[in-house]
């Protein structure tokens, strides 16, 4: 759960950054298209104090039983001519009463990517 300062900072980022929502037309009615923020934009607009406050609020909600955190999913990618070896982890959560939920997808351990000039892992929060 984001503190009011974090929410305010994210709203400010959305108004002032060049990263804008996709103009896709297939967005479900009632849902705004996603906004994408790069690392530099996030660290320029959110402080460690914002993060600490948000994490404290989230753990307080968890202690009150208001958080749904399903078991993480793990996918093992076997080595083949096209991919691997590597792993994909998918995690998510929702705090009751909030307008959003979070899903994180992370790929790790793709060490052979270095041969192609690619990072061994990556991730995204939705």
Instruction: Report the SS3 class of residue 19.
Output: coil
For residue range 78-90, list pLDDT tens digits in order. 988 877 889 999 9
Residue-wise pLDDT for 74-121, tens only, equals 999 998 887 788 999 999 999 999 988 999 999 988 888 888 888 888
| 36/34 Cα distance (integer angstroms) | 6
Kindly state the tokens that stand for 125.
């929060």
Dihedral Cα 79, 82, 87, 92, nearest 10 deg? -150
Which CB contacts under 8 angstroms, 24+ apart, belong to 116-119? none
For residue 68, which phi and psi values (nearest 5 degrees)? Answer: -105, 115
Task: Give the per-residue pLDDT at 2.
Answer: 52
pTM: 0.62
Please say whether the beta carbons of 74 and 87 come within 8 A: yes
Nearest to 14 by CA among 38, 46, 37: 37
Whole-angstrom Cα distance, residue 90 to residue 124?
10
For 19-44, what is each residue's pLDDT tens digit?
455 555 555 667 677 778 888 998 99
């Amino acid at each position: 759960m984001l503190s009011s300062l974090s929410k305010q900072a994210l709203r400010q980022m959305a108004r002032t950054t060049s990263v804008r929502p996709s103009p896709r037309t297939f967005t479900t009615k009632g849902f705004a298209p996603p906004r994408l923020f790069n690392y530099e934009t996030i660290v320029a607009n959110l402080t460690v104090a914002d993060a600490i406050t948000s994490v404290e609020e989230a753990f307080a909600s968890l202690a009150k039983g208001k958080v749904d955190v399903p078991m993480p999913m793990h996918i093992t990618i076997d080595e083949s001519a096209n991919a691997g070896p590597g792993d994909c982890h998918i995690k998510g959560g929702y705090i009751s009463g909030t307008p959003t939920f979070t899903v994180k997808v992370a790929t790790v351990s793709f060490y052979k990517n270095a041969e192609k000039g690619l990072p061994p892992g990556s991730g995204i929060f939705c």
